[in-house]
Amino acid sequence: MTKQFWKAAGVRMVKTAAQTALALIPAAGMLQDVSWGVVLSTAALSALASLLTSIVAGLPEVD
Judged by phi (left if over 0) then psi (alpha if -120 to 50, else beta), residue 29 lies in: left
pLDDT tens per residue, range 5-55? 999 999 999 999 999 999 888 876 777 788 889 889 999 999 999 999 999
Q: What pLDDT sits at residue 56?
A: 94
pLDDT at 63 over 80: no
Q: What pLDDT sits at residue 29?
A: 72
Alpha helix locations (H) across the chain? 3-24, 36-57
Model pTM score: 0.83
